[in-house]
Amino acid sequence: GENVEQHPSTLSVQEGDSAVIKCTYSDSASNYFPWYKQELGKRPQLIIDIRSNVGEKKDQRIAVTLNKTAKHFSLHITETQPEDSAVYFCAASLFGSGNTPLVFGKGTRLSVIA
């Protein structure tokens, strides 16, 4: 089955700097790669996702890049703010015929220092 590795497990950045979180996946058939943000004591919420037919997607200060050949994808947060502090999870799955479970990475705790 699918296996997702996420690095780093913790990340501290100064406010205004950029943060990058990287994930690798094992199943070359996976075609959907979401990123979820979980604030302390709250439920995970989708912040951005990308499908395998796209190499990059951007939404204001966050962007995700996908390299299907290398089987890795990354989350980029620019101009970080204290409210970006949270745990971020990447995930991978195959959606379509023969859907498979969404497999999550172990998470990255991002701390933005004011």
Q: How far is the CB of 76 from other proteins (least distance, A)?
A: 20
Interface pick for other proteins out of 21, 89, 92, 110 (rule CB under 8 A) = 89
User: For residue 100, what are the CA distances in angstroms to 7, 92, 95?
Assistant: 23, 9, 7
Window of 12-20, 42-50, 64-72, 76-84 that interacts with other proteins by CB under 8 A: 42-50
| Residue 81 touching other proteins (CB under 8 A) | no
Token pair recorded at residue 36: 């979820």
DSSP bridge partners of 25: 4
Window of 53-61, 65-73, 77-85, 94-102 that interacts with other proteins by CB under 8 A: 94-102
* Whether the Cβ atoms of residue 39 and residue 61 lie closer than 8 Å to each other: no
